Structure 1
Amino acid sequence: MNSFSTDVVVVGSGSAGISACFELYQKHVPFVLLEKGNKVGGAGKFGAHGVFAINSTEQKKRHVNYGYREAFNGLTDYNHFFVNGELLARFLKKSGANIDRLAEMGLPVTVEQSEQKAHLNDPLVYHKFNNFKEKMTNWDKLPDKFTAAGNKVMLETAAVDLEYDNGLKAVIAKNKAGAEIRIAAKKVIFADGGYCGSQEMMTANFSDTKALLNLGERKSTGTGIRLTHKLGADCRHRPVLFAHGGAPSMSINPMKRDSAVETLTNLPLLWLDQTANRFVNEDVVYDFAMWGNAAHNVNGIYYVLLDQKTLDTFKQKEVNLEDTFERQFCDVGQTPRTTVGPLPNIQTDFDEAVKTGEVVKADTLEEIAQKLQLPYSSLTRSVNAYNQAVKQKEDDTFLKPAAELLFDVQEGPFYAIIEHCAILGTLDGVNVDRNCQPVKEDGTPLKDLYIVGNNVNGLYSDGYPSYEGIANGFAFVSGWIAAEEAIKSLNQGEK
């Protein structure tokens, strides 16, 4: 077995891992970065558009009246006090300074109004990456800085085990060729992003796993969670899904932006669950987290139902509805479009989706019910009630705004987009202390181990909250905290 030694091993190069490495690099502490993929980065690099923060320099200049008190109380209340208060406090108090660190890393952000229509009047807490492509490029430059300083960055190499005896002895890794590597180390920071890539762990925790559309990092297979749990770490917590909107499939999803089917997915049309009943005010589409949670709540699948007249209207006209993902793909300062259409390719896109099974088409509602295995009586009742709401411009059940009650469902052919709850990952794993050290059931920390980002419990009780960018912000800050604490412990050991 190939072997060498270092002070700290960092597992994973997403937001939490790259942040930890940056702190170690700045403080001249030797480290090895292990990354499963063939390039650095995780969900924070490839998907996230910004981070949450309070009391940043730019916020202070703009006199943003939302600080620690408001954020701490808001998140504590949201989680019904099922929260790691000390860790939440430490994250929030460092979140503003993290904005300056991001600029030092080559990942500058600008405080900007939310990317979500539902939060346009929220306080200015969202900091968006100035340029998404430049963020990707600059992220890729960081490993060269690390290696130039004498550290190792090992791609296509995964941590598989620990040698541990009242303290860390070594991290055992395995490369793409299957060769094992022993890395003698004093500390290890697990920043490997949760477990959405582990079918076994997902199935054990979420009954609708098969229905979920995983837009997250499939290389996140729960390594840190499993290895620390094996050493006695307390993993008792309700599973928390990082639900984030909905989409028909991997080929028709919000990241591609090339199908009119996806566009209509992002609008408050008529939604039905697997019992053919409405289940939510479809206006929830304008809040990514709550939209995903609503879909997760109906076992991960629902249907967007519309008729040919609606399709033709979008083909020919500009409709006064906003595509919920429009703002996410605007660069800083760019003005979003608040209408949809005309969509000249909509019929072609829907016809193609019918062929692939992402959309079901039928001449009658009875046929739609048969094809989707829905109770026909419930389907007709739901459609009739919705049509009445559109006619009267009043939704007395789910309270959808009158301005969004635009399209009834009257005459065939009818179309049903099959929607899946989309996820970006998981948000539970290991209970930790304020220093991001995993703790045993009696609360004592496991020496020399740190676990961060989407691997930890304590920030969310049961679902991702509507604090845009908070998961990514916490990932960067928790990686920073863990590295600081590892360095502090190393220095104390030297004295």
Structure 2
Amino acid sequence: MKTLKTQVVIVGSGSAGLSAGFELYQKKIPFIMLERGDKVGGAGKFGAHGVFAVHSKQQLDKGVTYDYADAFKGLTSYNHYFVNGELLARFLKDSGENIDRMAAMGLATTVEQSEQKAHLNDPLVYHKFNNFKSKMATWDAWPQKFEDAGNPVLTETWAVGLDYDPQAGLKGVLAKQASGEDLRIETKKVIFADGGYCGSPEMMAAKYADNDALLNLGERKADGTGIKLCAKYGANVAHNPVLFAHGCAPSLRINPMRRQSSVETLTNLPLLWVDQTGNRFVNEDIVYDFAMWANAAHNVQGQYSVILDQATLDHFRDHLVPMEDTFERQFLEPGQTPTGTVGPIPAIQADFEDAIAHGEVVKADTAEGLADKLGLPIAAFERTLKVYNQAVADGQDDTFLKPAAELKFGVNQGPFYAIKEHCAILGTLDGVAVDRNCQPVTKAGQPLKDLYIVGNNVNGLYSDGYPSYEGIANGFAFVSGWIAAAEAGKAVQEAE
């Protein structure tokens, strides 16, 4: 077994891991970073568009009055007091300074309106990356900077165990490389920043009854290693699971990250949705709030269908429609203005026929035939169509209260189409109970010596789902990585 030696091991190179590495790099504390993938980065690099913060310099310059007290009270209340108050407080108090830290890392952001239509009038707390491609390039440049300072970054390498005693502390991290080589890294501290457990089929199936229906857009390399190793030595992992649900999509082939199919475009609009009982289940206007949209799908076994007829398809083919694609804002650079419209889409029929061939869309000549193909109760489905069509005709939705301006398209005459939608997830948001220093704690509240765990591995910020505080998961990842590295580094320096 090959043996290496350092002061701190960082497991993972996403937002939390990169932030931890940056802190140690600045303090000149030796570390080794392990990354399971063949390149650095996690969900924060490949998917996130910004971070949450309060009290940043940009906010102060703009006269934003929403402050720590508002955020702390808001999040505590939102989560019905199922929160780690000390951890939440430390995160929020450090979140503004974190914007400056990120800029120093080359990850500059601009505070601006939310990327979500439902939150355009919210306080300015969202700090969006100035350029998404530049962010990716900056991330890719950091390994060489770390290496040049004597801090190895080992890709295709992952932690598999610890040489650890809760009383004596940490002696080493055991790792494995894709080549098959085993490593032992003698170290004093370890920071687990490996992103939760959405890449572990066993953990997901054990925690979520609708796991088979979920569309995982997150990091499959996040297999819960850090959580499981901390639990092995007594860390408290007893709590409700929290899914990082974020939007919905038909498949991995047709999803918001690709932006290649008009089938995906129509899933991002408030058309008619039905669940597996053949009924509407929500005001489809919820599409404009990513987290709540996904939660609504999670609540109906993780899947539903978007229902439309040929006339609707033809209208989108030939006309500009004054409805906003919910993901349009997410793919704009700071300062760009969304169109707020969809269409005309000349290729829409071809896109739908392609999706039918791949099983993402179902087509039938009659409503009864569509219900049969979807396995829906026919009587319930036909009643849903009748009631919805009447709401469109009247311009009034007495049940779910969809705005009249969005009651544009009835479902009247075949052929009929159903886009099969799945609750999309970016990861998981629960794991290990920690103290304010991001050290795992036992059920008795005692911290585990020399161990730190951060980002999506941590429990205590959310009660039952991702809240509509845009960028909070990524913001917490950066701040918690900073906290853990600062505490670990301080302990190493004091010991020396």
TM-score by shorter chain over 0.5: yes
SS of corresponding position for 1:226 = helix
Q: Distance in 2 between matches of 1:444 and 1:93?
A: 24
Q: Which amino acid aligns with 1:5?
A: K
Show CA shifts across 1:241-271 (max 9, x none).
0000000001100011110100000000000
Q: Distance in 2 between matches of 1:76 and 1:281?
A: 26
Q: Distance in 2 between matches of 1:126 and 1:325?
A: 16
Q: Distance in 2 between matches of 1:414 and 1:65?
A: 50
Please name the residue that 2:37 is paired with. 37
Please name the residue that 2:176 is paired with. 174
Q: Distance in 2 between matches of 1:485 and 1:426?
A: 25
Q: Which amino acid aligns with 2:91?
A: F
TM-score scaled by length of structure 2: 0.99
Please name the residue that 1:25 is paired with. 25
Please name the residue that 1:147 is paired with. 147
Please name the residue that 1:464 is paired with. 466
Please name the residue that 1:53 is paired with. 53
Please say if 1:87 is aligned against 2:102.
no
Shift of 1:178: 1.5
Please name the residue that 2:99 is paired with. 99
Show CA shifts across 1:46-76 (max 9, x none).
0000000000000000000100010000000
Please say if 1:399 is aligned against 2:409.
no
Please name the residue that 1:429 is paired with. 431
Please name the residue that 1:62 is paired with. 62
Q: Which amino acid aligns with 1:120?
A: L
Q: Distance in 2 between matches of 1:488 and 1:137?
A: 31
Q: Distance in 1 between matches of 2:354 and 2:4?
A: 54
Please name the residue that 1:243 is paired with. 245
Please name the residue that 1:112 is paired with. 112
Q: Distance in 1 between matches of 2:103 and 2:402?
A: 41
Please name the residue that 1:72 is paired with. 72
Q: Which amino acid aligns with 2:46?
A: F
Output aligned runs, 1:194-273, within 5 Å: 194-273=196-275
Shift of 1:337: 1.3
Shift of 1:237: 1.1
Q: Distance in 2 between matches of 1:383 and 1:78?
A: 35
Q: Distance in 2 between matches of 1:446 and 1:394?
A: 58
SS of corresponding position for 1:235 = coil
Please name the residue that 2:363 is paired with. 361
Q: Distance in 2 between matches of 1:7 and 1:298?
A: 48
- Give unmatched runs, 5+ long, in structure 2: none
SS of corresponding position for 1:162 = strand
- Give unmatched runs, 5+ long, in structure 1: none
Show CA shifts across 1:88-123 (max 9, x none).
000000000000000100110000110000000000
SS of corresponding position for 2:312 = helix
Shift of 1:492: 2.2
SS of corresponding position for 1:391 = helix
SS of corresponding position for 2:260 = coil
Q: Distance in 2 between matches of 1:259 and 1:153?
A: 38
Shift of 1:375: 0.3
- Of 486, 491, 494, 1:492 maps to 494
Q: Distance in 2 between matches of 1:180 and 1:78?
A: 45
Q: Distance in 2 between matches of 1:31 and 1:68?
A: 33
Q: Distance in 2 between matches of 1:453 and 1:264?
A: 33
Q: Distance in 2 between matches of 1:65 and 1:417?
A: 43
Please name the residue that 1:299 is paired with. 301
Which of 392-401 and 416-425 deviates more? Answer: 392-401
Show CA shifts across 1:294-348 (max 9, x none).
0100011100000000000000001110000000000111111101000100000
Shift of 1:493: 1.6
Show CA shifts across 1:380-423 (max 9, x none).
01111111111111111111011000000000000000000000
Q: Distance in 2 between matches of 1:141 and 1:250?
A: 29
Figure out how many residues of one structure are paired with residues of the other and give that number.
494
Shift of 1:491: 2.1
TM-score scaled by length of structure 1: 0.99
Output aligned runs, 1:130-145, within 5 Å: 130-145=130-145
Q: Which runs of 4+ in 1 moved over 4 A?
A: none
Please say if 1:12 is aligned against 2:9.
no
Output aligned runs, 1:276-355, within 5 Å: 276-355=278-357
Shift of 1:179: 1.2
